[in-house]
Chain A
Amino acid sequence: MRETLDMMDFVYAAYAICLIGTLALTVWSFATMRAAEKRREESRRK
């Protein structure tokens, strides 16, 4: 007896994890950069 799994289910799962992970990394790195640079400007003004 051989296993019959729908390969596409696994493809969707792998893509979902990788896309969410990559996008989250991009957004997080951009947001933390903006926040840090804003904080630096504020410290300069005060």
Chain B
Amino acid sequence: MTDSATKGLKPKHQRLVLLSLALVALIGAGLLAAWALRNQASYFYLPSEIISEAPAPDQGVRLGGMVEMGSIAEQPDGTTIRFIVEDGTAEVPVSFTGIAPALFVEGSGVVAEGKMGADGVFVADNLLAKHDENYMPKELEGMTREQVRQQVKATLE
């Protein structure tokens, strides 16, 4: 901004212009930093990312995705479970020994903390359940969101 551009303005407007410019620059810088952080700031890797850029065998990582339908299998020892985490394009088998959180179910999100084994099985030492954005009573389970919306509309009308 040159002097001649601001000369004609009232001080009030001059402050407004300068502050707006500063604000735009600040927000731009912040968003840019956030964008640059997008990989580092992610809490977990998706199965496709883990497969394409396999972590070192002894490196602790987090794997997150959906628990594949029908994939949870309890092992004979009673405390180990095996299941498959998928993200729509890739899937990774996971083995976990311990107590799973209450929301750990098939078809729902999960974050597994552990290491990638040499045999391609992810060995988790901790499981976290990830909830999705849908809040739905038990009775409406199995209905799609569109069906629910229609039923609600019908009861309201």
A and B together in one complex: yes
Chain A residues whose C-beta falls within 8 Å of the C-beta of B104 in the assembled complex: 2
Chain B minimum-CB-distance residue to A7:
B102
- Decide yes or no whether B151 CB sits under 8 A from chain A: no
Count of A-B contacts with CB under 8 A? Answer: 16
Chain B minimum-CB-distance residue to A2:
B100
Check A1–B101 contact: CB distance below 8 A. no
Q: Would you call the interface of chain A mostly helix, strand, loop, or mixed? A: loop
A4 to B104, CA, bound (A): 11
B95-119: CB near A (< 8 Å → 1, else 0) gives 0001111101000000000000000
A33 to B104, CA, bound (A): 49
How many Å from the CB of A13 to the closest CB on chain B?
16
User: In residues 76-129 of chain B, which contact A (Cβ within 8 Å)?
Assistant: 78-79, 98-102, 104
A-B contact pairs, 11 of them (CB 8 A): A1-B78, A1-B79, A1-B98, A1-B100, A2-B99, A2-B101, A2-B102, A2-B104, A3-B100, A3-B101, A3-B102
Interface residues of B (CB under 8 A from A): 78-79, 98-102, 104
Nearest 5 A/B pairs, CB to CB = A2-B100, A1-B99, A3-B102, A3-B99, A3-B101
